Every structure is written in C-alpha cells, then in structure tokens.
Amino acid sequence: MQKIQSILSVNLLSGSTGSAKIASQINDAISHSSAKMFSLVGYQKNLQQNTKSIYSYPPMGFRYYFWVALNFFFDIFTPKNLSYEKLKKYEEYQKSDILHFHTIQWWYFDYRDLPKISKEKKIIWTLHDDWFCSGNDKDGSLFPYKPLRSFKKRNEILQQSDIHVVAVSNWMYQKALSSNIFHKDHIHLIHNGIDTSIFYPRGKKESRKILGIREDITMVVSIAGAWRKSRAKWVNYVEQLAIELSSDSSIEFFTLWNAKTSIQWNIHQIGFISSDMMALYFSAADIFLYPTRADSFGLVIAESIACWCPVITFEVGATSELVQDWKTGYLVSAWDYEGLKKAFFDFKTSPLKVDLSSLWFDISSKRMVQEYMNLYDSLVGQ
C-alpha cells in the first residue's frame, strides 16, 4: 500500500477549542512519522511547527462576531476568507496528498469550492459538530438556526464533491448518515481521543494540597467556557445550585475558564488555565457538574473520567457514549434542573469511583491518531 507523504490541515480555530486539540494531537503525532504535516489556522499566537496563520487578528474578536451575525441571517451572502484561489497559492497545498479539514464553517472557508478542490486532492473532513449536515434539523442540532435553504445548497455542492468525512462519535455518525448529504461509504467513525499523558489521576489529596483546597469539602468543578454568553454549557444552572447551597459550608464550586466576578462565597471562578491545571482540578474534584446544552463528543467529559472524576450531565448529543449511570457518572434528562440537583445529592451521599476501565472504548489520542493514519494511507492507496 502506498504510504502518505504530505498532509495539509485546515482549521479556523486554534488554542484550547475541541477541534484545535484534536488537530494538534494529529499534527504532533504525524510530525514524528515519515509523513509531513502542514497546518493553516485562522489565528494562533504561538504557532506550532509547520503552521501558518491566515489572519493577523484573533477570529474571536469583533470581526468574527460581525461575520457570524451576517451568517446567521444571510448565510449564502457571507464573505469567505479562504477559497480555492487562495489555497492553491500555498506551497503546502501544492505538495499535499491529502487536505484534512476541521472546523471550516461560517465565513472562514468557501465550501462552494469543494468540488474544484476534490478534483485535485483527497479530502478528509472531521465533523466536530453537525452544522453542515443538520441545517434543517431543529431537534437535537447543535446549530438549529441554520436555514433549510442553505442546507439544500450545501447538499448540491457535496453531490459534486468527492469527500470523506469523519464522525467523532456514534451520534455524529448517525447524523451524517441520516442527512443523505454525504456518500454513505465515505463516512467514517473515529472517536475523539484525549492526551492520557496529561489527563490522569494525580491523587485527590495531593491535588488539593497543590491547589490550596480544603480536604473536608465536597468539591464541584464545572466549565464556563469561552461561550458563556450563549450559555452553551449552561453554567447558570451551576450558579443556581451554588446559590441554593450557599448556607452549606461543606460544598464549594469551581467554575473553570470563567473570568466573571462573583459575589458568591462558595463559587470560585477560575480564568483560563492550561490542560495540566485542568487535570489537577479534575483530580481534586468529587464531581464534574456539566449541564451542557449540546456536545458532539464531550472532550471535557473524557478528560474528567480519565482523572477519575465522575460526571453529571444532560443526555444531549453524544454525552451518553461516555457517561453511563453509576459507572462513569449520571445522565439527566435535557435541561431538567431538579433532576440535576437530585443526581448531585445522590452522588454526594454515595460517592462513585470511576476509572478508564469504565469506558467501553480506548479514549487515548494514540488510538485516535492511529485510526487517522490508517485512513490517510487507505485513501492515498486508492
């Protein structure tokens, strides 16, 4: 079988986002193989080796939200900043055997050029969310506002393109299949993976000592995230529970990636932290309270379980693939606050011990990368 020689990775987002983590893990692994990996990202302050930034300003700034707003109302008219004409000027594109797309929605990439590109290059597109194949799905879609008109347009474009897509979960795989927008034999399932050399149990007592957290409390961790205004992770449910329990000095809440000032004594808002620090908080915690509104996989769920911290979350998207009742955590009906609170007290009364053996598949990034390598090689051999 012919081996892959050169891959060009294209991703709007960088940093600590889910798609950026996955792309980075693949890039790092391939850099240690005989193949070459190059990356184009929307913006990144500290560029990795063989990575180029398309923009000189952060995509999360004013312009980003401006174009997203336009996309919300006028999807078809939204300007795109990366097109076939721009791509083909990059030497990395010219030399590549495969283009691996990650997050390319909104104004970043002109998907109308996919038919042209697919005639020149093998294309893999990892579906980190369901925006492209769920434009007409208002029930369970991560992006229910996408109009039916633009979904039909994307369908027409995909019918003219030879693209292989990767679903990051069974839930995403079924979405891709049922959309009828992709060729069924071109849909692949590769579960996301996490870096288990970072996310592993550090010891609850040792972790709390490092973080300066009391040993005699019930420690609850949650994620506020960069998208706090959209309430995508519904940290307001966590805050509501903390307010109700503010008279109980034995329970304290820690919301990670949360820069908002709180007047609640029992809510410790932690700003942006590294993956190593996240692993430390997960290792120290008794419960990871994650009232997410939508998840196509749930990387932070996997990271928490890898640190032996049980998860309480809503049964939405792919969360049930990682969270199984009384094994790795507890699933609550979507947006059921009272159910969330009940699960919290059940766990507090009967603490649950979890580890990686509770999961039904290998969660490591090593497994994930190998599956991508196998897919790369199979496509080049065609």
Look at residue 62 in the predicted model and tell me its pLDDT.
Answer: 52
Instruction: Describe the chain by its helix, strand, coil percentages, rounded to 5.
Output: 40, 15, 45
How confident is the model at residue 43, as a pLDDT? 56
Mean pLDDT, rounded, of the chain: 83
Q: Distance (Å, rounded) from C-alpha 334 to C-alpha 320?
A: 12
Residue pair 93/87 in contact by the 8 Å Cβ criterion: yes
pLDDT at 144 over 60: no
Match 């709180």 to its residue by tokens. Answer: 262
| Res 53: pLDDT | 63
Q: What is the DSSP letter of 74?
A: -
Q: What is the pLDDT of residue 47?
A: 55
Nearest partner of 203 among 272, 283, 139, judged by Cα? 283
What residues contact residue 190 under an 8 Å CB cut-off, 6+ apart?
126, 166, 167, 168, 368, 371, 372, 375
DSSP-derived secondary structure for 242-283: HHHTTT-TTEEEEEET--S----TTEEEE----HHHHHHHHH
User: What pLDDT shows up at residue 137?
Assistant: 45
Q: For the residues 102-122, what does the mean pLDDT come to?
A: 84
- What is the rounded distance in angstroms from the CA atom of residue 288 to the CA atom of residue 214? 17
What would the two tokens of residue 132 be?
């492209």
Beta bridge partners of 8: 38, 99
With H, G, I as helix, E, B as strand and everything else as coil, classify residue 173.
helix
pLDDT score for 293: 85
Q: What is the pTM of this model?
A: 0.87
The answer for 242, left when phi > 0, alpha when psi is -120 to 50, beta otherwise, is alpha
pLDDT of amino acid 291: 93
Residue 106 pLDDT grade (very low, low, confident, very high; cuts 50, 70, 90) = low
CA dihedral 282, 283, 287, 291 (to 10 degrees): 10
Helix (H) or strand (E) holding 220: strand 218-223
Question: CA-CA distances (angstroms) from residue 28 to 9, 170, 200, 379?
Answer: 12, 25, 20, 21
Residue 227 has pLDDT above 60, yes or no: no
The string of DSSP letters for 333-366 reads -TT-HHHHHHHHHHHHHS-----GGGSSS--BHH
Rank 52-66, 168-182, 239-253 by mean pLDDT and report only the highest: 239-253
Query: In order of start, what are the domains of the chain with their CATH numbers?
Result: 6-193+364-380 (3.40.50.2000), 204-358 (3.40.50.2000)
CA distance 268 to 231: 18
Q: What value does the mean pLDDT take over residues 44-59?
A: 56
Helix (H) or strand (E) holding 71: helix 62-73
Measured in whole angstroms, the distance separating CA 367 from the mean position of its chain's CA atoms is 17
Among 125-129, 163-167, 301-305, the range scoring the smallest mean pLDDT is 125-129
- Chain segment 301-354, per-residue pLDDT in tens: 999 999 999 999 999 999 999 999 989 999 999 989 999 999 999 999 999 989
Q: What is the pLDDT at residue 45?
A: 54
- pLDDT digit string, tens, across residues 186-218: 999 999 999 999 999 999 999 999 999 999 999
